[in-house]
Structure 1
Amino acid sequence: MTAKNEWVEFIAILNREVVPALGCTEPVTVALAAARAAEALDAKPQSVLVQVSGNLLKNGMGVGVPGTGMTGLVIAAAVGALGGNSELRLEVLRDLTPEIVAEAKNLMADGNVKVELAQTDELLFAKAIVAAEGHVATCTIARTHAGIIEVTKDDEILDSTPLEDEDASGDVWPLSVSAIYGFATEADFEDISFILEAARLNESIAAEGLEHDFGLKVGRSMDEDIALGLRSDDITSFATRLAAAASDARMDGIMQPVMSNSGSGNQGITATIPVTAFARRLNKSEEEMARALILSHLIAIHLKHHLGRLSALCGAILAATGSGCGIAMLLGGGLVEVERTIKNMVGTIAGMICDGAKTSCALKVASSVEAAINSALLAMKGTSVPGSDGIVDDDIEICIKNLGRLGTVGMCETDKIILDIMVHKKDHS
């Protein structure tokens, strides 16, 4: 395959994995399944049952659902069934009204909306079962957040799609760090300028996060610290507080879409905002910013490919690794500096756990971004964690595979314990 043919495939991957999403993608997956099932039912649902995988349950328990003022999967299922539009995919809740939300809350209050753990080996799985007037319809989503694989009504299959292979690009995964770098630096600007939409969307939500009290107010608090002289208004602080503010707003359920990466809004924010922040402060051109964003998002996708959609490893560290690479590029770094940045990230922050989507994700985003900037700055000075240390390897692709193995095979038991702790909290309250 020639480089040009690879580039067509890279653009297809970006178009598939970097998409707008309204609300945290785990509750949105539940809302999408409920919406599509309700559309198949062709009647207002009187009851909604959603069965979800453990990882989806973990990521959806404590996060805000846009337009509702509430958190969790139950409200997501209710508003999805009563007012979602499945054609909008990850923006399924875009057309919610206060009347729909009130109706959903009434349905919940009557005990007619339930979420339970599914018996499945799929890490990402949601099946919505809606019923009304003696009829039942279902929608099943698996593997990807908008990957509808089956829709039924009264046991008749209305739509069926094979499970999406995580490697949808063929037998050989086409991405590598060197190939990504070549594409980001050499592709025609007009072919990659679409990535600037990620900057527009995610900078907009960051501005909202700084302006209003969302979640833990991590980004807004950093702004206050600067005014008090407790932090400096340097480029690192600028990038960190913008990314944190965007996560604050998103995790609190702001009714505004972000550009996601690999099915995660926080990963989209983390792969975008630090790069745009550096580009703005360094007075880089739109083209320079776009190339750095392409590098960042594709590196994040490449790392995520080896980890899977949902795991016990926090996805923010992968997205921040991407943004660190983009920052290195903006600082004048080449492929060597990009590889050093990745090794520095794998050698430092690789073990951060994912204990569900929630307001404190903004703290993890902030920590990941600060680590990424440090990794990039060290890389620009010729410093990287040596391949003899820990899970790092001199071969950058093996290094990335090691990280993936840690997060999948190595942290399986961690994942189970995290979920067990989370679902049994109420037993001790």
Structure 2
Amino acid sequence: MTMKKEWNEFIAILNREVVPALGCTEPVTVALAAAHAVEALGTKPQSLLVQVSGNLLKNGMGVGVPGTGMTGLDIAAAVGALGGKAELQLEVLRDLTPEIVEEAKQLMADGNVKVELAETDELLFSKAIVTAEGHTASCTIARTHTGVIEVTKDAEVLESNPLVEEDASDESWPLSMAAIYEFAKDVDFEDISFILEAARLNEAIAAEGLEHDFGLKVGRSMDEDIALGLRSDDITSFATRFAAAASDARMDGIMQPVMSNSGSGNQGITATIPVTAFARRLGKSEEEMARALILSHLTAIHLKHHLGRLSALCGAILAATGSGCGIVMLLGGGLEEVERTIKNMIGTIAGMICDGAKTSCALKVASSVEAAINSALLAMKGTSVPGTDGIVDDNIEVCIKNLGRLGTAGMIETDKVILDIMVHKKDHS
């Protein structure tokens, strides 16, 4: 089919938002800021100060940092400063060595790594300030996980970039569910075959999660339940445990990249694995799987656009909604069934909170995937939550905007309470 003008923009959005990431993207963005700052400094840092937004702090407190066996933004900043490679972007920690990790631990032990809350209205903000031999350099990242807005050395601005505009207005945003579905269905396969790399990366990390004891072992535990006769080995169980296993491994800090979506590895996993699981079990071709993956990932991006990068709403439900749509496509459903799936998801687990990135995210991934499959199967039977119920609307785009409004304006106070609870835990221990 002839490439429509707007389809090039859809492909550009996919190439921007679906990228490899090593480790949870919040600690990684801190590591990336530190790596940029040290490159500007030009020498090994003697001290390191990181200032972050509350939402970034929330998402970086409890998740494993690849290659370190530790959690926290301080170790992420330290290894990023001492061994990170800024040109690798979200894979900045790819080339860490045990020696670098030990050096980073020593820098922390000597009291030379500090993390503090920044005074900023940005939800995603990270500034790394490094010093050595009387010189100081800094790097500020904001709005997106790789969005460097300023690099300085000794008060001289070396690099300055505008904040990425995230305008959610109808006029500037090209995606809609009708347009996404048409693109996924009709675009030439060779123009979207690149999405199969998401399947390769995320299935590989899922296999590791099933093979080894990572995090809460949610996926591996489901495998054991099957052996005990407590679960069946059906397609839904396969999709759920495979996705959970990938999250288990990722949140525990495995040194292996995943294909992310909208700046989140867990969202990338959740938008990918359930679709590939259904495609494998149903014996679908690579082209059929690729089209379903495109529908899934673009749907997740579309929903996330109305929500913002970091919020009090768990991103796994958005990605799982995408995968539910992809599953519908694999089952032979059309746009009507896709829209029913989204309404069913928004009518069920729309309010799941995000209380930071951590090993228990695998449980949220599992719950979201099960809900998505249930939503998709109901949709295929002609069932959807009616537009008169709750925040659901008969108009699918209004329905999606309602979800975005819930997660932004509606959960501002929720976000504050979650962060307050998390940062004051030590006061009660």
Distance 1:168 1:403, change over 3 A: closer
Which residue matches 1:370?
370
Query: Is 1:359–2:356 an aligned residue pair?
Result: no
Deviation at 1:227, TM superposition (A): 0.4
Whether 2:216 is the aligned partner of 1:233: answer: no
> Partners of 1:305 and 1:13 in 2: how far apart?
11
The 5 A counterparts of 1:182-331 are 182-331=182-331
Contact 2:58–2:422 (CA<8 Å) still a contact in 1?
A: yes
Identify which range, 26-35 or 171-180, moves more after superposition: 171-180
Measured against aligned partners, the alpha-carbon deviations of 1:382-419 in whole angstroms (never above 9, x if no partner) come to: 00000000000000000000000000000000000000
> What TM-score, normalized by structure 1, do the two folds share?
0.99
In the TM superposition, what whole-angstrom CA distance separates every residue of 1:24-53 from its partner, at most 9, and x where no partner exists? 000000000000000100010000000000
CA contact (8 A) 2:247 2:361 kept: yes
Q: What is the DSSP-based 3-state SS (H/G/I as helix, E as strand, rest coil) of the residue aligned with 2:157? A: strand
Aligned to 1:428: 428
User: Structure 1 pair 97/115, CA: closer, same or farther in 2 (3 Å)?
Assistant: same
State the one-letter code of the partner of 1:12.
A
Whether 1:115 and 2:115 are equivalent positions in the alignment is: yes
CA distance in 1, matches of 2:91, 2:47: 23
Contact kept, 8 Å, 2:168 with 2:306, in 1: the verdict is no
Partner residue in 1 for 2:10: 10
Spell out structure 1 runs of 4+ moving beyond 6 A. none
Question: What is the aligned partner in structure 2 of residue 348 from structure 1?
Answer: 348
Asked if 1:132 is matched to 2:123, the reply is no
Aligned to 2:29: 29
Distance in 1 between residues matched to 2:407 and 2:291, nearest whole Å: 29
2:345 and 2:170 map into 1 onto residues whose CA distance is 29
Gaps spanning 5+ residues in structure 2: where? none
CA displacement at 1:168 relative to structure 2:
9.7
Cα distance, 1:75 vs structure 2? 0.2
Give 2:386's aligned residue: 386
Distance 1:318 1:70 in 2: 29
Structure 2 CA distance for partners of 1:24 and 1:422, relative to 1, 3 Å: same
TM-score, scaled to structure 2: 0.99
**Contact 2:293-2:326 at 8 Å conserved across structures:** yes
CA distances 1:339-384 after superposition (whole Å, capped 9, x unpaired): 0000000000000000000000000000000000000000000000
* Residue identity in the other structure for 2:239: A
Match of 2:45 in 1: 45
Alpha-carbon separation, structure 1, partners of 2:106 and 2:399: 51
Please show how residues 61-210 of structure 1 align to structure 2 within 5 Å: 61-167=61-167, 172-210=172-210
Amino acid at match of 2:249: A
Identity percentage over the alignment? 89
Q: Distance in 1 between matches of 2:409 and 2:9?
A: 29
How far did 1:67 drift?
0.2
Q: 1:21 to 1:120 in 2, by over 3 A?
A: same
DSSP-derived class of the 2:181 partner: helix
Distance in 2 (alpha carbons) for counterparts of 1:370 and 1:177:
22
Conserved? CA contact 2:20–2:260, under 8 Å: yes
- Structure 1 letter corresponding to 2:4: K
CA-CA distance at 1:111 after TM superposition: 0.5
CA–CA distance in structure 1, aligned partners of residues 398 and 117 of structure 2: 35
In 2: Cα distance, 1:170 partner to 1:128 partner? 35
Q: Displacement of 1:155 after TM fit? A: 0.3
Contact 2:31 2:77 in 1 (8 A): yes
SS of 1:115 mapped into structure 2: strand
Q: Which runs of 5+ in 1 are unaligned?
A: none
**How many residues end up aligned between the 2 structures?**
428
The letter of the residue matching 1:162 is P
Query: One-letter code of the match for 1:303?
Result: L
User: How far off its partner does 1:166 sit?
Assistant: 1.7
CA distance in 1 between counterparts of 2:44 and 2:301 reads 39
CA distance in 2, matches of 1:186, 1:16: 21
Hey, what's the Cα distance between the residues in 2 that align with 1:143 and 1:151?
15
CA distance in 1, matches of 2:237, 2:156: 56
- Write the deviation string for residues 269-297 of structure 1: whole angstroms up to 9, x where unpaired: 00000000000000000000000000000
**Partner secondary structure for residue 4 of structure 2:** helix
Aligned partners of 2:3 and 2:187 also within 8 Å? no
* CA-atom RMSD in angstroms: 1.1
Q: Deviations over 1:48-104 (max 9, x none)?
A: 000000000000000000000000100000000000000000000001000000000
Deviation string 1:150-169 (CA, Å, 9 cap, x unpaired) is: 00000000011111112499
Q: Secondary structure at the match of 1:128?
A: strand
Deviations 1:207-266 (A, max 9, x none): 000000000000000000000000000000000000000000000000000000000000
Residue 327 and residue 170 in structure 1: after superposition, are their counterparts in 2 closer, same or farther (change >3 A)? closer
In the alignment, residue 304 of structure 2 is paired with which amino acid? K
What secondary structure sits across from 1:231 in the alignment? coil
Aligned partners of 2:170, 2:6: CA distance in 1, in Å? 12
Partner of 2:399: 399
- Whole-angstrom CA distance in 2 between matches of 1:150 and 1:115: 19
Deviation string 1:304-326 (CA, Å, 9 cap, x unpaired) is 00000000000000000000000
SS of 1:411's equivalent? helix
